[in-house]
Structure 1
């Protein structure tokens, strides 16, 4: 049978596992499976038995709606989940043995994912609450068109837009039914809540309320009925994902010290005094998945934690002993683990891998790292008989800044000669290369067409230690672009890639560095600049996170380092660019607003030295490439492949 090449349309048939949850007895797991139906997404819950004689996984829910975030009750008799089958996103419960789901909430603006009380009688969840009620004599259209009064820097968010007309608070709802009970109130947002093991207390993250620090969050605790709320932490810039120890004395959270630093550590917080200490200062929490990162899990009666750590370019599943801080990998090999689930008294851990080979592959393993078992491969048929490629994690000598590591994809049918090269720049810059198909379908398309792909974790990347990440602060472009160029030189000298056919591209910080590169060198035959930072000074004032992330990234406040902000902005050099450039941008992006892409386009057009196209996606936010409408995602992938083939393909060589 002949091999099938990857095409942009393969996005439609890819099945994405968005959540995996193991049952309390370790004998089953529930997972949410997201698929594409025309121009919309749907998601169903599936159930897989972990018994030795188990059959294939079976669907637990069905329909055209989106069922997500399954959560087992502590006795394993019920599964709670979010669903769009009613008005908005609401909470439902279902018997894992079958039957109809029962609706628990009817909140006006929907609900966020829930967590069970230890006794199984209640569910705890967060939901948005309007700051002001619409007067009876004002129409809904007039109310939505009223002037917006902004008093905080944190007034908008990517994927949401303006957000000061609502606050998020915590609620409980009884399993037997009835109206939800509001536990928190006030001018802050309350998120990411967890019950103590005895059900008597709740830990949660609460935002601050000042004009310049409302993006920051502290750890709070309160009684289960919402009374006696008090703040536990003050020295951390943000906290999330609290998890109580079995004895109730400690709360594990994700957090960081420095405002604007995206790299997070695991912190252990005394549940009474609030004193916080890092679990291990060298353990960095994994970056992926971007919007659904699992919390830390207590196992072995509170003597160890299971976390996803970012380590040397991958997200790996590890167990950390609290006694000696020993870190043990629980899943062998260089895999990208993106979901995990465990119970304090259980002996099994469920996890999901999503990388260039394991496309949302679900497995389980004992808490001591033994007896790993594959549970299901939802994309097994999708991946069969595909055009082959070789993937290696490769060390490069780098520059004076030191060696770097990166992922190199090569077509297996490339023959003896060199092939064209796509240089992919990841975002952040303090993240690291994401390996899942959802994030980079164009990698597979290009390799199917005979291209090599280089995805480097250059200076500034996460997962290689704080020193490696910190050295890029205040030196964007200056210290990492030379490392990419040096890696390209090594591949050319090794005879693997054709130095006359090299393209570069990336999104977010990757868009920044691609735009920076074409203003600094003529090495590239084509460039793709997606959702970039082009003007650091204007990005500081227009991005939803720019006002606190940018000063950290530049190692200085705007008023102290204004010249640096200008000097490191790609738009300052684009008048010299001659590289054909494709610009891709979501029109509703609040992280790297469309004005950044417009500055790139206007400068290139005005300079008149480089062919340029600007593609704007209506309704697209910062994550349109992986979460936007199916047709936009397919178009995005197709345009990248066609652009680089047009300007750097076999028949488009340009002398440089």
Structure 2
């Protein structure tokens, strides 16, 4: 039988559709969601809201080339609120669920975000900013805080803005500012915080914020408190005061406690996220999922997803069970925890990445978004009573039916210190038994993330080019328990390097990889490890390092997170001597690099600043080594995931062309 499918090419990145933010309707029969596609003509993205029922064709609720997202059903199911930038900045709109013209209901000077309906449907709370300084000329900027810049804003943090919580009355359209002017909400870009959450009686709003003490804000960047404020406005009261982060608060059914995602900072930034609870009366945090040795939330690395997705914990109708997402052995599944027994059960499993969900308590149904190794993303409904799952969408059907996809196989190996670790191997398209193939080793960033059972366009592209693609979760990775995550501390360039080399050896045992035609690539920490590998072995014929780290001494001060990353993720202690960082810097061993190297870096990357690549490039070039560098303008650390479409395409072409240049196909 003739295979009519073709191989994936770089330009296919324009053909993908990205699904996000599934919101189940009050009647439990429909799901509103966001579909994002690339607008090739305008070289950006457009997002629109769709609705799909279990027994009806899906229909488009919004249109246009603007961004329309964060759909939220009114409690009676008649309206959907959403955020759109169709008239300039991002504002709140209302539209009837049967369609029609959307009505703009907020006219704030700045963007708004994270709308949430009050329980009775009369109001919507949201977040917006206030500009506190209207400067008309250039003036010196005084710096007093340790946190100076942010990758999310591609530069220095603008201290002229403060976030506030607002509430709009749906009937009168009157907007009330809930948090007072003198309450400063500092915004750490890594967390979905400040999201207001209504109490069940509608009298209060909870939210999370970093504490107001500047010393603690600088020295304990992950510490966040939970605050409660009257829904009419007033002075917020700090509830949770323990060290550690607090994310995504929800109220218990009696409104006496707040459940949230966080930890007590036992292992600094590397501590697994847990389900926690704090009582309004005493403010003492309790870890609910302490016996569940997995981190909550989705930590899966991917390049084929876009858009915010609701992944708050959700309470059952009787208030005795909490539903949440957790990373587990390369998967992200949905679990439940009994508030009475603390027992954790897997509710929606499978070899896939669930990256958003909402719960209809009355109907006992869950809408969720998921991806698999052969599908970038779709929406499904799960009935908790019958345990029946219904897939609602197939948004990439035409594209996926037209191309060949490589399905990875999971393999395991034992590390030097006897830790069981896992990875995957993808055969090239057109694989033939008995033939030897070139191979690309991919290394994920973080390193406190995970590779997993999700679609990865870059990997599929390399498989289409005739490469075996191998990738693993060495020490430091999430999803395998606290011990493996923490095992990376004070081990950079040591046992992590041994893990990845041992995994490569394990992959070679499969028999169809040519050990003389190996390539290596990775981004962020993966870029660091790519640099480290080629400065310590010559087994790879070519390397591509992306948004890399080459010199921890300058990374410490130049990165938006470097000063605490070194303490909390690298050394596990306060830095005492810069020479400690030089010893684990690939730049210290640059004379030993003999592998042809392509360096890719975004010019506005604040997480791993471009000076990291510039140091490496200049050092190698001055030694007459084979090295090339490509800079991507107007791009930050997230170029491969959500960057300017034409630059995402260019990046993929550079990777493929450079590896093809040095790997001989047979």
- In the alignment, the residues of structure 1 paired with residue 618 and residue 34 of structure 2 have an alpha-carbon distance, to the nearest angstrom, of 43
- Contact preservation (8 Å) 2:429, 2:463: no
User: 1:196 matched to which residue of 2?
Assistant: 199
269, 276, 281: which one aligns with 2:278: 269
User: 2:305 matched to which residue of 1?
Assistant: none
1:30-179 matches, cutoff 5 A: 30-38=32-40, 39-50=43-54, 54-134=55-135, 138=136, 142=137, 145-160=138-153, 161=155, 162-179=157-174
Whether 1:427 and 2:435 are equivalent positions in the alignment is no
User: 2:184 matched to which residue of 1?
Assistant: 187
CA shift digits 1:443-494 (9 cap, x unpaired): 1111112211111000110111111111110111211111111121122233
- Contact preservation (8 Å) 1:288, 1:338: no
CA shift digits 1:170-194 (9 cap, x unpaired): 1111212535221113233371221
CA shift digits 1:511-547 (9 cap, x unpaired): 1111111111111111111111221122121211222
Secondary structure at 1:82's aligned position in 2? strand
Secondary structure at 1:359's aligned position in 2? strand
CA shift digits 1:358-408 (9 cap, x unpaired): 321211112257011111111111100322423122212332252210122
* Distance 1:213-1:158 versus aligned 2 partners, 3 A rule: farther
1:350-429 matches, cutoff 5 A: 350-368=367-385, 370-411=387-428, 413-416=430-433, 417-429=435-447
- In the alignment, the residues of structure 2 paired with residue 287 and residue 585 of structure 1 have an alpha-carbon distance, to the nearest angstrom, of 26
Secondary structure at 2:254's aligned position in 1? coil
Please report how far the alpha carbon of residue 45 of structure 1 lies from its aligned counterpart in structure 2 after TM superposition. Answer: 0.3
- In the alignment, the residues of structure 1 paired with residue 122 and residue 272 of structure 2 have an alpha-carbon distance, to the nearest angstrom, of 37
1:300-339 matches, cutoff 5 A: 300-339=317-356
Whether 1:285 and 2:290 are equivalent positions in the alignment is no
Aligned residues: 637
CA shift digits 1:422-450 (9 cap, x unpaired): 1111111111015544xx42211111122
- In the alignment, the residues of structure 2 paired with residue 526 and residue 263 of structure 1 have an alpha-carbon distance, to the nearest angstrom, of 36
- In the alignment, the residues of structure 1 paired with residue 212 and residue 410 of structure 2 have an alpha-carbon distance, to the nearest angstrom, of 44
- In the alignment, the residues of structure 1 paired with residue 141 and residue 452 of structure 2 have an alpha-carbon distance, to the nearest angstrom, of 38
User: 1:591 matched to which residue of 2?
Assistant: 607
Secondary structure at 2:391's aligned position in 1? strand
Secondary structure at 2:591's aligned position in 1? helix
- Contact preservation (8 Å) 1:441, 1:637: no
Uncovered stretches (5+) of structure 2, i.e. residues with no partner? 188-193, 302-307
- In the alignment, the residues of structure 2 paired with residue 174 and residue 101 of structure 1 have an alpha-carbon distance, to the nearest angstrom, of 17
- In the alignment, the residues of structure 2 paired with residue 481 and residue 289 of structure 1 have an alpha-carbon distance, to the nearest angstrom, of 21
More displaced, 465-474 or 288-297? Answer: 288-297
- In the alignment, the residues of structure 2 paired with residue 221 and residue 279 of structure 1 have an alpha-carbon distance, to the nearest angstrom, of 21
Whether 1:26 and 2:42 are equivalent positions in the alignment is no
- Structure-1-length-normalised TM-score: 0.93
Secondary structure at 2:392's aligned position in 1? strand
Please report how far the alpha carbon of residue 262 of structure 1 lies from its aligned counterpart in structure 2 after TM superposition. Answer: 6.7
- Contact preservation (8 Å) 1:87, 1:106: no
Secondary structure at 1:302's aligned position in 2? coil
CA shift digits 1:297-323 (9 cap, x unpaired): 111421111111011111111122222
- In the alignment, the residues of structure 1 paired with residue 591 and residue 386 of structure 2 have an alpha-carbon distance, to the nearest angstrom, of 56
Secondary structure at 1:390's aligned position in 2? coil
Secondary structure at 1:490's aligned position in 2? helix
- Contact preservation (8 Å) 1:131, 1:167: yes
- In the alignment, the residues of structure 1 paired with residue 311 and residue 111 of structure 2 have an alpha-carbon distance, to the nearest angstrom, of 22
Q: RMSD over aligned Cα, in angstroms? A: 1.9
- Contact preservation (8 Å) 1:330, 1:369: no
- In the alignment, the residues of structure 2 paired with residue 237 and residue 294 of structure 1 have an alpha-carbon distance, to the nearest angstrom, of 20
Uncovered stretches (5+) of structure 1, i.e. residues with no partner? 652-656
More displaced, 191-200 or 622-631? Answer: 191-200
239, 242, 254: which one aligns with 1:247: 254
- In the alignment, the residues of structure 1 paired with residue 564 and residue 34 of structure 2 have an alpha-carbon distance, to the nearest angstrom, of 35
- In the alignment, the residues of structure 1 paired with residue 106 and residue 299 of structure 2 have an alpha-carbon distance, to the nearest angstrom, of 30
User: 1:654 matched to which residue of 2?
Assistant: none
